[in-house]
Amino acid sequence: MRREVVFVTSEMYPFSKSGGLGDVLGAQPLALHRMGVPTSVITPFYGRLRTADYGIHLTISDCHVGYPWDPITCDVYEADYHGMKVYFVHRGEYFDRRYYYNDHKGDYFDNCERFIFFCRAVMALLRRLGTPPAVLHANDWQSGLVPAYLHFWRQTDPFWADTRSVMTIHNLAFQGRFASRLFTGCGLPPQAWTMSGVEFWGDFNVLKAGIAYADMVTTVSPSYAREILGPAYGCGLEGILQARQHALHGILNGADYGIWNPAQDKFLPCRYGPEDPQGFAGKQRCKTALLDELGLAPELAHRPVLGFIGRLRGQKGIDLLLDIVPRLMERDVGVIILGEGNLAHEARALDLMETYRGRLCAVVGYTEDLAHRIQAGSDIFLMPSRYEPCGLTQMYALRYGTPPVATAVGGLRDTIMPWPSPEATGFTFGRSDPQLFLEAILDAVHYWEHDTEGWRAMMIRAMRQDFSWERAGRSYVNLYRQLGFDFS
Ligand code: ADP
Ligand code: GLC
């Protein structure tokens, strides 16, 4: 039996998604699988999953996990997802909840227990399946203990001896930091409790465990890989990241063009593409339909419409956008905001919608299909992130011919060629400052108004950018090769 790369993740689209992590894990393992790398995925069985979808069926019942008390078990469900196996760890008390990690009151109180349980269940399941993986590929803090278990267990248990691990950081700001007492009984030996291990200012830091003990650490863009080595973006982990710098790689995510492609997007009222002579007419029809759907003034069909999609959190710089709305309105543009998150930002966005009825629409909530229609129906995509490990929405915006205006950070810097370069695909500004953001938007609006041909050429260049997973997948295959595996 060929040994596999096993992805461990708390989200995988279409089974679960709260943001980009879900998109990435919905595409990356499958892309590798299609490239001939034997791949499978292990993820939680959340309450909203229906077993009828994708033929999900029970494969192991009562798999012994032994955390937090010894007799505890999980059930394991399995699906064949386009020829690739996906395993779902089921334990209702942990995963059968309305949200993944938090509700409006804050993080679930037992997140540490939930994801220690998950990581231990992953190890128990792999043991039970009987073939040690070639590579265990963990993602974000929720699976951060997996590389740590592997590191310690393979020292004494021959089953794990030839398995290697990769820890991918999708967002360093979410670390899974908990009280030290939760370390007790998690399954790591006492020697992991050091400054170069899981201990972090007296607390138990789960992501740090993954960074400290994985054989390779990756993050989701080359720029972010450099940024996190310093205090401005390192979130306190810059020390351990510097210590592990030789094992740290920045690999730009891909976009799943099977799902995010205006030429075949099932959520759009009509489809379009860069080669299509009707392309601009098609996008214009998507715009008119979107204005109608959201109750925006029909005259905006002849003015630039600016779209924002994202978590309403500090990371995404939504406050910068809300600050400059009055100035934008003076320029007679339309603004569409889709997002949820911080209650104060949500309320402020809804207030602005009252003030600028017909010109600004804020949809508070999470709506997958509307996100597609905003990508297609906007002229300019706004992404004033304070930091951005990779960012997928700007990649989607490029493909939908919606040039982004974005902060020049992280993955935004790596994916957008800024105006006024002749190769420009969008607009960037230096740091997250509302005035700089406003100026960059006004540059874009001015260009849209005064140079129709130039703008169209920019749209076509944007739509032809290729951030496919085939390209990113090759970088991961090279990484696995460096760990000693050749899957070809
Ligand atoms: P992050 O993972 O930091 O949230 P990304 O740009 O990598 O940012 O990915 C965000 C993903 O989540 C995209 O697929 C985007 O369309 C989606 N998304 C974010 N907020 C919403 C929302 N309110 N409704 C629908 N989709 C959303
Ligand atoms: C995180 C990051 C985002 C990235 C996504 C997928 O949520 O915030 O920048 O695109 O993970 O890697």
Question: What pLDDT digit, counting tens, does each position of 40-68 carry?
Answer: 999 999 988 888 889 999 999 999 999 99
Same-domain pairing of 458 and 477:
no
If one residue of 265, 311, 396, 409 were mutated to test the ligand 1 pocket, choosing by the most ligand atoms within 8 A of its CB, it would be 311
Specify the pLDDT at position 118.
98
Domains of the chain: total = 2
Same-domain pairing of 241 and 312:
no
* Average pLDDT of the residues of the chain: 96
Same-domain pairing of 293 and 145:
no
Q: Which residues line ligand 2 (CB under 6 A)?
A: 19-21, 24, 170-171, 220, 253, 388-392, 411
The percentage of the chain sitting over the pLDDT mark of 90, rounded to a whole number, equals 95
Q: How confident is the model at residue 105 (pLDDT cuts 50, 70, 90)?
A: confident
Is the residue at 159 inside a domain? Answer: yes
Specify the pLDDT at position 79.
97
Q: Answer whether residue 421 shows pLDDT above 80.
A: yes
The two beta strands, 305-309 and 216-219, are unpaired
Closest C-alpha residue for ligand 1 atom 22: 366
Same-domain pairing of 139 and 244:
yes
Same-domain pairing of 350 and 412:
yes
Ligand nearest to the CA of 393: 1
Same-domain pairing of 439 and 476:
no
- Assess whether the previous peptide bond of 68 is cis (omega < 30° from 0): yes
CATH number of the domain to which 290 belongs? 3.40.50.2000
Summarised one tens digit per residue, pLDDT across range 213-222 is: 999 999 999 9
- Whole-prediction pTM value? 0.97
484 Rama class: left (phi>0) / alpha (psi -120 to 50) / beta:
left
What is the CA(256)–ligand 1 centre distance, in A? 13
State the closest ligand 1 atom to the C-alpha of 383, by its place in the atom list counted from 1.
6
Is the residue at 273 inside a domain? Answer: no
- The answer, yes or no, to whether any atom of ligand 1 lies below 6 A from the CB of 341, is no
If one residue of 21, 172, 313 were mutated to test the ligand 2 pocket, choosing by the most ligand atoms within 8 A of its CB, it would be 21
- The answer, yes or no, to whether any atom of ligand 1 lies below 6 A from the CB of 20, is yes
Same-domain pairing of 457 and 476:
no
The number of residues in the chain equals: 488
Is the residue at 202 inside a domain? Answer: yes
Specify the pLDDT at position 278.
75
- The answer, yes or no, to whether any atom of ligand 1 lies below 6 A from the CB of 379, is no
Q: How confident is the model at residue 103 (pLDDT cuts 50, 70, 90)?
A: confident
Residue with tokens 């960059």: 440
Closest C-alpha residue for ligand 1 atom 17: 19
Please compute the mean of the pLDDT values over residues 332-356 and round it to a whole number: 97
State the helix-helix crossing angle for 111-129 and 206-213, rounded to 10 degrees.
40
What is the CA(393)–ligand 2 centre distance, in A? 10
Is the residue at 215 inside a domain? Answer: yes
Strands (E), 236-367: 248-250, 305-309, 334-339, 360-364
Q: How far apart (Å, rounded) are the C-alpha atoms in residues 185 and 120? A: 11
> Is residue 247 a contact partner of residue 216, using CB atoms and an 8 Å limit?
yes
State the closest ligand 2 atom to the C-alpha of 24, by its place in the atom list counted from 1.
6
Specify the pLDDT at position 94.
98
Same-domain pairing of 26 and 58:
yes
391 Rama class: left (phi>0) / alpha (psi -120 to 50) / beta:
left
Same-domain pairing of 473 and 452:
no
If one residue of 253, 383, 407 were mutated to test the ligand 2 pocket, choosing by the most ligand atoms within 8 A of its CB, it would be 253
Beta-carbon contacts of 374 under 8 Å, excluding residues fewer than 6 positions away, are 290, 307, 309, 336, 338
Per-residue tokens: 222: 């080359």
Closest C-alpha residue for ligand 2 atom 5: 20
Ligand nearest to the CA of 396: 1
Q: How confident is the model at residue 203 (pLDDT cuts 50, 70, 90)?
A: very high
Same-domain pairing of 221 and 358:
no
Same-domain pairing of 176 and 309:
no
Q: Which of 95-99, 202-206, 395-399, 441-445 has the lowest mean pLDDT?
A: 95-99
Report which of 351, 359, 355, 324 is spatially closest to residue 438, judged by C-alpha positions: 324
Is the residue at 39 inside a domain? Answer: yes
Q: How confident is the model at residue 277 (pLDDT cuts 50, 70, 90)?
A: confident
- Domain coverage including residue 136: 5-254+469-482
Specify the pLDDT at position 1.
57
Residue 485 burial (10 A CB sphere; 0-12, 13-18, 19+)? middle
Is the residue at 201 inside a domain? Answer: yes
Same-domain pairing of 310 and 220:
no
Specify the pLDDT at position 51.
84
Q: How far apart (Å, rounded) are the C-alpha atoms in residues 94 and 100? A: 10
The percentage of the chain sitting over the pLDDT mark of 70, rounded to a whole number, equals 100
Closest C-alpha residue for ligand 1 atom 19: 310
Q: How confident is the model at residue 170 (pLDDT cuts 50, 70, 90)?
A: very high
Residue 237 burial (10 A CB sphere; 0-12, 13-18, 19+)? buried
State the closest ligand 2 atom to the C-alpha of 315, by its place in the atom list counted from 1.
8
Is the residue at 15 inside a domain? Answer: yes
Q: How confident is the model at residue 2 (pLDDT cuts 50, 70, 90)?
A: confident
Is the residue at 427 inside a domain? Answer: yes
Strands (E), 294-429: 305-309, 334-339, 360-364, 380-383, 404-407, 427-429
Specify the pLDDT at position 488.
65
State the closest ligand 1 atom to the C-alpha of 388, by its place in the atom list counted from 1.
3
